[in-house]
Amino acid sequence: MGTEVNGEPLGYHFGKDFEYLKVGKNRVVAGGLDSPFTFTVLMELV
């Protein structure tokens, strides 16, 4: 169980609880590696 942002695990057991999103595509998985809740977040400069 947990969250992953761009391959970086987040949460109590992983030593950090946030990850900055990069410009471009970011992959967010909520609920662990086998989770069906996988998102692509597109960050653009404006």
pLDDT means per 10 residues, the chain with 46 residues, are 90 90 97 90 97
CA distance 40 to 29: 9
Q: How many domains in the chain?
A: 1
pTM: 0.82
**DSSP 8-state secondary structure symbol assigned to residue 21:** P
Q: Residue 11's closest CA among 39, 36, 25, 31?
A: 31
Q: Residue 23's closest CA among 46, 2, 1, 45?
A: 45
CA distance 44 to 34: 28
| Token couple for 1 | 């169980």
Predicted pLDDT of residue 43: 98
Q: Which domain holds residue 35?
A: 3-43
